[in-house]
Chain A
Amino acid sequence: MNVLEKLQNIDKRVFYLLMALAIAIPTVSPIGLAVDVTPAVQRTFDFVSTLPEGGRAVIGFDYEPGDEIDLNPQAKAILHQLGAKKIKVVAIASFPAGAMFAEQCLAILEEYGYEYGKDYVNLGHYAGGEATLAAFANQPTAIYSKDWRGNDTASLPIMKEVKSMKDFSMAMTLNDGPTGGTGTHEWVRQAVMAHNVPLIMGVTGVLAASNETYVQSGQCKGILAGLRAAAEYEKLVDKLGDGTVGMDAQSMAHLLIVAFVILGNAAMFLSQKAKPASKGGAA
């Protein structure tokens, strides 16, 4: 087996080992690579900056533990911005674990003097996907009689101010797809189309391309895609966190993947070129 053939038949465990090293080393010893802000993230930040101080935002924590690494840092970064603008936050979740993530992330708001029940609330999980989101949009307290902590929602000052989706200055979904929860398309339909509430999305990298169309069409005011967007947003709000920590590892892993794709393809082309031309004709 010559070098070109070896390059096309590398044991996949070698690749896994290199990938593990590419992620592990920068995680333990960060390199500190620069993070530039892309226009999509800047646009989202700029939109949130235009919201009126003291307004209200509803955030859907529509993700499961597998996508926590992408979406928790996004949530935390944007909550820093909302907290600085004193925007009240209502959190809902279409996955059971989403309510737990909401609880973790919303704790950030207490740094800004927020009071639970008055300035922010975690309403917890709802079942039923889009139909329940539609009902929530019409009358939030009809879906949530109790919040995540067991309080009567009707007694919470923040919920007395919210009669329908129209009472929010902004809606946001942190979303890892519609399977089992409420997807981004459903949020566009129920928040934007039905109630004309501006929507921004925080999605996993996998969902970025399919949802970019909503930004181009103006139906969505901004989109954050993956851990990279979280790192950029952390830079914009000047609160470095998990997104920034993960960027070195992501860059190294991507470099490794690109190197293997180039090597594999180059080896394939060169080995095809090296093969003697077929004399043709079936026996």
Chain B
Amino acid sequence: MNISSSVGVWVGAIAALGIYSVLVKDNPFYRLVEHIFVGASAGIAIVTGIQTFKSQAWSPLTGGQWLLIIPILLGVLLYARYVPQYSYLNRLPLSLMMGAGAGVAMRGAVESQIVGQLTATMIKLDTLDAWIIFLGTLLSLSYFFLTYKLEGGAGWAPKLGRYFMMAAFGAAFGNTVMGRVSAAIGRFQFIFLDWLGM
């Protein structure tokens, strides 16, 4: 064993053990580490915000880009919501943000998430995979055909669609489990390899 002499590694390892201790039972050590984590996250967010303001707004403004005063003032107006008689003013920057956000997203959304995905289902049905994609799409859509209930002879379509979706949820859940196990592996590697040097 070659135990780390880095203070940062020791703090990280003790904090990881503190968080894992909740798996046995809720305890003060866990709550202490949790509160430190929340506090540190808030601190990082504030520092990041200040740095972003300096680099994206203040430095260019004082460097001669005077038009930046407009978005800076609009940003300040977001805080008008905390002053009841002027709270209506925060609607202006909010509206602009929502409009700009929607506009930027719309630029490719229709093509990437509707047309592109629809086109991907219009394929030559010469493989099993192609048939699964084709039928899975149609039958899953039939499950959400809510204008009237498909019953009797047509009732099998939404039922099969539900099975296709359940298979997809199973795949997604399996990947989620894999991701969570990976997170644990990362911490264990940190504890055993980086901290304890095993």
Contact = CB atoms under 8 A, between A and B. Distances in A.
A226 B168 CA distance: 18
Nearest to B47: A96
Interface string B91-127: 0000000001100110111011100110110000000
Interface stretch (B51-59, B80-88, B139-147, B151-159): B51-59
B11 interface: no
A263 interface: no
Contact of A131 (B44, B100, B111, B184): B100
A213 B117 contact: yes
Interface residues of B, number: 44
A193 B112 contact: yes
Interface stretch (A51-59, A62-70, A81-89, A110-118): A62-70
B105 to A, nearest CB: 6
Contacts of A257: 177, 181
Given A189-B108, A217-B116, A217-B119, A23 B175 contact: no
Interface stretch (A41-49, A159-167, A245-253, A271-279): A245-253
A130 B104 CA distance: 7
A192 B175 CA distance: 26
B172 interface: yes
A242 B189 contact: yes
A28 interface: yes
Question: At the interface, is chain B mostly helix, strand, loop or mixed?
Answer: helix
B68 interface: no
B36 interface: no
Contacts of B188: 20, 23-24, 27, 249
B73 interface: no
Nearest to B181: A253
B8 interface: no
A205 B176 contact: yes
Question: At the interface, is chain A mostly helix, strand, loop or mixed?
Answer: helix
A69 B178 CA distance: 12
Given A66-B183, A68-B186, A213-B117, A192 B178 contact: no
A105 interface: no
Contact of A145 (B60, B111, B116, B182): B60
A206 B179 contact: yes
Contacts of B52: 125, 127
A143 B60 CA distance: 11
29 contacts: A13-B24, A23-B188, A24-B192, A27-B192, A28-B192, A28-B198, A68-B186, A96-B48, A125-B52, A127-B48, A131-B100, A134-B107, A146-B55, A185-B109, A188-B113, A189-B105, A189-B108, A189-B109, A204-B182, A205-B177, A208-B175, A209-B171, A213-B117, A225-B175, A226-B175, A226-B179, A227-B182, A250-B181, A254-B181
Interface of A: 13, 16, 19-20, 23-24, 27-28, 66-70, 96, 125, 127, 130-131, 134, 143, 145-146, 185-186, 188-190, 192-194, 204-210, 213-214, 216-219, 225-228, 242, 245-246, 249-250, 253-254, 257
Per CB-CB distance, the 7 closest pairs between chain A and chain B, nearest first, are A69-B186, A193-B108, A189-B108, A217-B120, A205-B179, A205-B178, A209-B172
